[in-house]
Amino acid sequence: MIKTSILLFVLVGLLLVVTSCGQSQPAETPPSHEHEKATFQVEVSRNGFNNMPGEFQLEVEAGQEVEITFVYGDGDFPQDNPHVIAIPGYGIEDVVLDKDNPEKTVSFTAGAGEVVFKCTTITCVGHTNLQRGLIVPQEHSH
């Protein structure tokens, strides 16, 4: 009798395994809600971000992968004019741009809040023109 019980137990166990295997069909590919990566190129010069001395905005979507390529824009200046770009809100610091480092790409996932980027070296010419870069998540509808 005990043997029969054990046999039954094993059989039921096997049945459960088989059933659960049957249920774990590969799921259908879920519809893609992935946002396309946002890529930007931003020239950094004594005249501001993309020559805009005031506020300069990059519009993104929350949750979106963002890639920003900063390009040194003071190559026409008689002296080297190094800039150090930081996006503290995304843990990005010390993006050095100068004649020897004309281009640098950073990437991050956009959050829901507005984040500032700016030049942190106080020795560059045009420093005050490089303090109001903003990464702004936009409301969007599907």
Binding site for Cu ion (CB under 5 A): 83, 119, 124, 130
Question: First vs last Cα of the chain: how many Å apart?
Answer: 64
Cα–Cα distance, 136 to 29 (Å, whole number): 32
> Which of residues 48 and 137 has its CB atom nearest to Cu ion in the complex?
48
> Which of residues 60 and 130 has its CB atom nearest to Cu ion in the complex?
130
- Residue-wise DSSP of 55-99: -EEEEE-TT-EEEEEEEE--TTSSS---EEEEEGGGTEEEEEEBT
SS3 103: strand
- For the bound state, the minimum distance from the C-beta of residue 83 to Cu ion, rounded and expressed in Å, comes to 3
> Which of residues 56 and 110 has its CB atom nearest to Cu ion in the complex?
56
- For the bound state, the minimum distance from the C-beta of residue 81 to Cu ion, rounded and expressed in Å, comes to 7
- For the bound state, the minimum distance from the C-beta of residue 124 to Cu ion, rounded and expressed in Å, comes to 3
- For the bound state, the minimum distance from the C-beta of residue 121 to Cu ion, rounded and expressed in Å, comes to 5
Question: How many CA atoms lie less than 13 Å away from 110 in the CB half-sphere?
Answer: 27
> Which of residues 38 and 96 has its CB atom nearest to Cu ion in the complex?
96
Who's near 91: CB < 8 A, 6+ residues apart?
108
- Lateral strand order in the sheet of 48-49: 48-49, 38-45, 65-72, 103-109
- For the bound state, the minimum distance from the C-beta of residue 98 to Cu ion, rounded and expressed in Å, comes to 10
> Which of residues 72 and 108 has its CB atom nearest to Cu ion in the complex?
72
